[in-house]
Structure 1
Amino acid sequence: MIIYILKSASCLALLLFFYHLVLEKEKMHNFNRFYLLGSVLFSFLAPLTTFTTYIKQEIIATRDVTIVPNYINNSVLITKESTIDYYQILIGIYCLISALFLLRFSYNLFKIIKKININEKIKQDHATLILVTDKILPHTFWSYIFINKAAYENGEIEEELFTHELTHVTQKHTFDVLIIELLQAVFWINPLYIFLKKAVQLNHEFLADENVINQHKNTFQYQYLLLNKAAWNNEYYLASNLNYSLTKKRLKMMTTQSSRSIILLKKLAVIPLLTGFVFLFAERVEAQEKEEIIETIVEDVPFKDKSEENLYKEYYYKNLTTQRKGKDGKYIIKKYQELNTEEKGRLIPPPPLKLEKKIPTKKQFEDLKDNTKYAVWIDGKVVKNEVLNKYKNSDFARYSNSFVHKNARSKRFPQKNQASLETKEYFKAQNTKRVKDFEIYKEIHKKLGEAEWQKLPNGEKIKIIENPKIETVEENYSKHSGEKVNTGFKDINGINHYFVTVGNKTKYYNKEGKQTNEKGASISNRKASSSNIIPGNHVTKIYFDGKIFCKFNDNIPSKRVNKNYIDATIHSSKSSKQSISPIQLQLEDVKKLYERVNSPLNVYNRKNNYYEEDRQEKPHFVRSSRERQEELKGKFSKLGTLYFKLSKEDKKKVTRPILPHAPYLKLKKNNKVFYKLKNELTEEDKLLIPPPPPAPNASNEEILKAKKAYSDWKKRTSNGNAPPPPSIVNKK
């Protein structure tokens, strides 16, 4: 909501700037009137525009498994402490102030209506004259013109003044003023509405002045008349006043001559301006297309025959991590494979492999259109509630809704409920995908059960298997999705290209491993990723007549690969048939493989990738629970230890671990920690930033200087428990 308000305010500010810079100087006051009112509406709608971009995200379906023999059974659930919701308090204060302004608006409106009711009325032309005893200049509210009774009866009201006020009446200028006043009462925090109101009222005077001059044809006499009335101070709230903003700008506008061609050009300039602002302030949504890669990585796991039900439960919870607090106050973190029978029994049973249809009722579907109560996802992508107007409840095959507790809500999704809808096509595809993935998982499990243990030089035992062959994957894919995978080579403009056809979609690749169109023209400057060539497979090389035809970008090493990395190279021949050659590994190969995968550099990269995936999960660290913050800080600490153990050459190949709270800065005052972005820091906040520690090769004098700076910071911030700087080391 805050981001939306800031975007709307920025849009309105730029529109007003354009008005004062370009439009206000020309005699096109009717156009300007609608431009100013339209600016308000446009500033509300532009940030609501949504542009969707589709990105691909690759996910690892399985992780390495390590069984810990000792279990700690005495554990209790972690409870979250309740916190004060300051956001709701600020909303309440804002609404209270808005209510006061609306009350003031209503009171002034009541005073004008009362004045209309108690004074004498006279019908004249399209207006009603209200004769009051106050010594005032004529002023207008809606179709009522307030004038001094004595001046009217003595005939002292000039004809030009009547014409001026009648213009306000016939053109309904009061409507504009009331709209701006209401907006100003609701959005009182935005000062732009003050400038907008002044611009609107001044434009009203331009319109009235122009009408007077066109009718009476005596500009200088009218200007002299206004100057004589300028000393009257009778600016009435909500009314159009004769002498409003009688400045040099208003007098000069009466004699300004505008070119029709310039006016037309300036009007046309508004079109690209509004188009540009739509693209500038629109919300951009990323929809992710997920592709899963299966890796078989197992260490010290006892394999035995299991029923398919237990195997499916293990498959469903393969990435589950539980966290409990023991009696000693320490956290116990376990993966699913580390849970004992009792702990596994506490878990909620997994949903069926093939989900059943659950169509929302008409009432449920209509309720979802309320964006104050529901955040809505369609086919895994968040959408505006208004999008539901394009659908019927029968268009969806599955519906689910979950209640969101206060401490789990975010600024982007403050609603109490989060609902997910799946269209019929998406529902069918997801069911098919789940069945296919489980079939692959069962095949991997079967191979692991049949494989023999092999002993590494350090005494450890591992099992090595080959990835599922492409024939198996192709068969499952055809069985469950109804689409076949066809591959081969095609001559395009005299040059061979490798092609992959899935269903009715075909992709082409040249000798450089880059994707091309059907005419052979490159559509990407980068090599294709190995996991995107054939669904469910990792393809690094393509062979033609026994020679390497092309290579693809190997994106597996950056993923979660442990001791048993298997390079599933695909061999292709003229007959377009694929097969995966059996893996021939001797103990010497295993030893080299083990040393390569577990080198300090590879271990650090692997751990850093795990850490970055966890760190970038939403919500951000600073808005996460205390338990998640402690978990991330622990991972960062261990990662830092691995980084400093790397050699100088290896450090040049990697990036330092990123702080879990980045890009926020961690500040501390009175031993209380809080976080702020760099651009949000006040001068007072900058004093809370701790001084940097001395360099590792610092002299004794530099260390003393750092120690004094630290001591000053400690007194300044009242932080008594912060870690001291390094002690002085005698150096020769």
Structure 2
Amino acid sequence: MIDFLIKSTLSLTILLAVYHVVLEKEKMHQFNRFYLLFCIVFSFSIPFITIEIIQESLNPLLGNTTILPGEATTTIIEESTDYWLITLWSLYSIVTLALTIRFGRNIWKLTSRIKSNPVVEYKNSKLVLVKEKILPHTFLNTIFINETDYRNRKIEAELYTHELIHVTQKHTLDILFIETLKVLFWFNPIFILYKKAIQLNHEFLADEKVVKSYNNVPFYQNLLLSVANVNSNYYLASNLNYSITKKRLIMMTKTTSASRAILKKLVLLPLFSGILLFSCSKTVEKEKTAETTITGMEKYFENTTFLIKDDKGNIIADKKFSELTSEEKKNVPPPPPPPPPAPNNPQETSRQLEDQKNAVGPKYAEISVRAITTIKVKKNTIHNTAAVTEKPTFPGGMDKFYDFVAKNYKAPSSPNLKGKVYLTFIVEKDGALSEFKVLRDIGYGTGEEAVRVLKLSPKWIPGTVGNKSVRVLYSLPITIQTAK
């Protein structure tokens, strides 16, 4: 959550600053409206986007380090109550609830005025005639005006046109969107600035239409100035006299050339790309030899039969390279290195490289695999983890298993309890767990609880000898530590 707030707020701040410096003063208001709304959606999307940059590492394909899952331990820690976190969430919930009620109350007040006052159809909108002395203002497809001024025809045509633009371009939806965000993210002042920028741009759009329709800028400017001191109590409505400032009056007479507008828009492409790359890029290491070495080894050993020997030197199986398990591939000897180039003889060097490229491995090669004692497995033989080709494992890996245990294990209520529970169980051929035995525990029901959790476990990936599933005896220590 913190990462989401930091990344989105940083992006919102940068993009709004660019808007004020580069775009706000230009007469391209439709584009600016799209830009402001897109900035919010873009910034909220950034924390959920990851761009992986592959960085090759020099780790060899065939390593010698093996981590045995059975040797790992998982720690169950009973966390103490975080009262600060509870207090913060409670404060957030109370303030958000209060703002939600205020938001709903304002919508209800506007809809109530529509139902309780006369309504007149006017072009693509509805005129709601109210008795209060108000300036025209718009909510969705409804324009609120004073009934007396309407009957006496004291409302100028320019004002009707101005409000109709708010209706036809659906400016109220922008306001409702940003107000919803203000309710949810009330602690972030950036949305207050975005609302001001969006509302001012709405007025630019409406003013532009009036100027084009009537071509009388001085009269319209004087009309706006004459109503500049009248305020509206409805912050969800588009108000005629919103921010009648020098910016708005100057914008009526300003022009922006097409080439200048295109140049300004092109500047934004590297901006968005830079933010995306900076915020979402993640370097992922990839073994440099992982693909190329496997491909080369498969080609080199494609005609080689590998004789699998146990630790006593007995041949227990023969396989092609593609049939080897990952454990067996670790014991495959690497292909011989290329010969040194012939000095001062490019043709000889070229021939050597071609021979190396087309080289094939020996007809037979031996692999010694530790702890494989027989390929003929008796029906109910129980193997230990050191005597199998592939060890049994939890679906998704042992880290997932430890997460499963930690989520389901109910630590005893006794404080300051610390120790290990040692137990064994059988991983059956189908992956089911059975024959649980507690070798040692620390009392307070810790052993019984460990067995209960293991019985909830989904089926494991069974262990194998050769290519056959076998029953495997698995031992597991679990570390228990309760809060003080």
In the TM superposition, what is the alpha-carbon distance from 1:60 to its structure 2 partner?
5.7
Which AA in structure 2 matches 1:21? V
Report the secondary structure of 1:487's partner residue: coil
Q: Quick one: which amino acid aligns to residue 16 of structure 1?
A: L
- 1:386-465, aligned counterparts within 5 Å? 443=311
Q: Distance in 2 between matches of 1:30 and 1:180?
A: 18
Report if aligned partners of 2:27, 2:255 keep a CA contact under 8 Å in 1: yes
Aligned-residue offset at 1:291: 9.8
What residue is the counterpart of 1:694 in the other structure? none
Distance 1:116 1:187 in 2: 30
- How far the C-alpha of 1:495 sits from its partner, in A, is 8.2
User: How far is 1:277 from its partner?
Assistant: 1.8
- Asked if 1 retains the 8 angstrom alpha-carbon contact of 2:338 and 2:356, the reply is no
One-letter amino acid of the structure 2 residue matched with residue 61 of structure 1: T
Match for residue 555 of structure 1? none
Q: Which residue of the partner structure matches residue 132 of structure 1?
A: 130
Is the Cα contact below 8 Å between 1:54 and 1:286 reproduced in 2? yes
Segments of 5+ residues of structure 2 without an aligned counterpart are 68-73, 291-307, 363-402, 404-415, 417-484
Please give the alpha-carbon distance, in whole angstroms, between the structure 1 residues aligned to 2:150 and 2:189: 40
Supply the distance in 2 between the matched residues of 1:173 and 1:280 (Cα, whole angstroms): 33
Kindly indicate whether residue 62 of structure 2 is the aligned counterpart of residue 83 of structure 1.
no
Q: Which residue of 2 aligns with 1:480?
A: 324
Residue in structure 1 matching 2:210, options 201, 212, 232: 212
Q: How many aligned positions are there?
A: 335
Q: CA deviation at 1:84?
A: 1.4
Give the match for residue 252 of structure 1. 250
Q: Distance in 2 between matches of 1:24 and 1:135?
A: 33
Cα offset, 1:188, TM superposition: 1.4
2:466 maps to none
**Offset of residue 88 of structure 1:** 5.5
- Which residue pairs with 1:104 in the alignment? 102
Give the 5 Å matches for 1:443-592: 443=311, 480-481=324-325, 485-489=334-338
Against the structure 1 CA distance between its residues 291 and 267, is the aligned structure 2 distance closer, same or farther, given a 3 Å change threshold? closer
Relative to structure 1, the CA distance from residue 500 to residue 80 in structure 2 (aligned partners, 3 Å threshold; closer, same or farther) is farther
Q: CA deviation at 1:199?
A: 0.3
- How much has 1:488 moved relative to structure 2? 4.3
Local SS of the residue matching 1:258: coil
Q: Are 2:45 and 1:48 equivalent residues in the alignment?
A: no
> How much has 1:82 moved relative to structure 2?
3.2
SS in 1 for 2:120: strand
Aligned ranges for residues 79-228 of structure 1 at < 5 Å? Answer: 80-85=77-82, 87=85, 90-228=88-226
Matched, 1:17 2:14: no
**Matches of 1:266 and 1:78, distance apart in 2:** 57
Q: Describe the shift of the 1:89–1:284 C-alpha distance in structure 2 as closer, same or farther (beyond 3 A).
A: farther
Deviations 1:325-356 (A, max 9, x none): xxxxxxxxxxxxxxxxxxxxxxxxxxxxxxxx
Q: 1:21 to 1:494 in 2, by over 3 A?
A: farther
Q: Counterpart of 1:6?
A: 6
The aligned amino acid for 2:335 is: N
- Contact preservation (8 Å) 1:50, 1:285: no
Measured after TM superposition, the shift of residue 496 of structure 1 is 5.3
Q: Given that residues 488 and 575 in structure 1 are in contact (C-alpha distance below 8 angstroms), is that contact kept between their aligned partners in structure 2?
A: no
Quote the Cα distance in structure 2 between the aligned partners of 1:219 and 1:238: 28
For 1:154 and 1:98, locate their aligned partners in 2 and report how far apart those are by CA, in whole Å. Answer: 44
Q: Is the CA contact 1:489–1:498 (under 8 Å) kept in the aligned structure 2?
A: no
Tell me whether 1:61 sits opposite 2:65 in the alignment: yes
Looking at structure 2, the residues matched to 62 and 500 of structure 1 have their Cα atoms a distance apart, in angstroms, of 35
Q: What is the CA-CA distance between 1:99 and the residue it aligns to?
A: 2.6
- Structure 1 residues 154-189: Cα deviation after superposition (integer angstroms, max 9, x where no partner): 111111111111111111110110011011111212
TM-score, normalised to structure 1, is 0.40
Determine the C-alpha separation between the residues in 2 that align with 1:16 and 1:507: 61
- The equivalent of 2:275 in structure 1 is 277
The answer on whether the counterparts of 1:174 and 1:239 sit within 8 Å (CA) in structure 2 is yes
Distance 1:272 1:80, change over 3 A: closer
Residue 140 of structure 1, CA deviation: 0.6
**Partner in structure 2 of residue 396 of structure 1:** none
Letter paired with 1:85: D
Contact kept? 2:3, 2:47, Cα under 8 Å:
no
**Pair 1:242-2:86 in alignment:** no
Q: Which residue of 1 aligns with 2:303?
A: none
8 Å CA contact 1:488, 1:498 repeated in 2: no
Amino acid of the structure 2 residue aligned with 1:487: P
Letter in 1 for 2:122: Q
Label 1:105 to 1:494 Cα distance change in 2 as closer, same or farther (>3 A): farther
Q: Is the 8 A contact 1:131 1:146 kept in 2?
A: yes
Distance 1:284 1:124, change over 3 A: same
In 2, Cα distance between the equivalents of 1:507 and 1:219? 84
1:47/1:283 contact within 8 Å kept:
no
The SS at the match of 1:269 is helix
Alpha-carbon distance in 2 for matches of 1:575, 1:158: 93
Q: For residues 60 and 85 of structure 1, what CA distance do their matches in structure 2 show?
A: 44
Higher relative contact order (CA 8 A, sep 6+): 2
2:33 — aligned with what? 33
| Separation of aligned partners in 1, 2:288 and 2:95 | 47
SS of residue matched to 1:136? coil
Q: Tell whether the 8 Å contact from 2:56 to 2:286 is kept in structure 1 after alignment.
A: yes
Tell me if structure 2 keeps the 8 A contact 1:489–1:497: no
- Partner Cα distance (1:180, 1:82) in 2: 39
- How far apart in 1 are the matches of 2:351 and 2:186? 64
**Partner letter of residue 82 of structure 1?**
E
RMSD of equivalent CA atoms: 4.5
Partner deviation per Cα, 1:670-703 (whole Å, 9 max, x = no partner): xxxxxxxxxxxxxxxxxxxxxxxxxxxxxxxxxx
| Shift in Å, 1:237 | 1.6
Name the CA distance, whole Å, in 2 between partners of 1:499 and 1:204.
Answer: 75
